[in-house]
Amino acid sequence: MKRIVMFPETSQFLVFLFSQNGQKPTLQRTRNIESIWNGLMLQLYKSLVRPYLEYANDVWSPRLMRTIHALESIQRRATKLIPNLSKLSYEDRLNRLKLPSLVYRRNRNDMVQVFKYLHTIWKCDDNLFEVVSDQRTRGHQYKLFKSRWETALRGHFFVNRVTNLWNELPAEVTAAESVNSFKERLDSFLANKPWLYDYEAYN
């Protein structure tokens, strides 16, 4: 009967199991095992945790910084469970994992929903947006009329908070032929936004 020795790092424990199976724990094999473990942890987070953080976020998207911090802290803790990245800053961990901040994903999702509505992919009985009819306006043909509001809460309603970012998009993005094409072009445009990995840079 083999005696199981528990190691502080789970990836080291996996290396131990491989070595017990007759495989010499070379440096390359150790790195491969760590890579598999990191990918597994990341996939578990994306599948089992993040959907709860993003449920119906186009309706209730957080406005207060303390709520935004609370949501990001869950992703912060999840990424810290990956052993070889635990000592990096949160922003650096996201960058290494190519895992966008939750702020980025909420804004991206907002843009996808606006695209679907303006291109009648999903229909709504109410006229949610007013498209600027003046074709002399600089930008794309789907630019939205920016309403005025008196309170910050009203300004954070879906139809109001999406206006600035949507109007900022290039014409080749808003004129995409399909949702998938729009997502690809949108990701390319948003790739240079500082809040891709640094959620505190968003204002």
What does the pLDDT look like over 41-90, one tens digit per residue? 899 999 999 999 999 988 889 989 999 999 999 999 999 988 788 899 99
* Beta strand residue intervals within 33-127, DSSP E: none
**Distance, first Cα to last Cα, the chain:** 59
Residue 16: what pLDDT? 44
Please compute, for residue 89, the number of CA atoms within 13 A of its CA located in the half-sphere on the CB side.
6
Nearest to 112 by CA among 52, 181, 172, 49: 181
Nearest to 53 by CA among 62, 42, 44, 40: 62
Distance CA 9, CA 18 (A): 15
Within a 10 A sphere around the Cβ of 63, how many other Cβ atoms?
Answer: 13
Residue type, 22: G
Residue 60: what pLDDT? 86
Averaged pLDDT for residues 2-20: 44
Spans of all domains in the chain: 10-99, 104-201
- Look at the alpha carbons of 136, 140, 145, 148 in this order and tell me if their dihedral is positive or negative: negative
> Is-above-0.75 flag for pTM?
yes
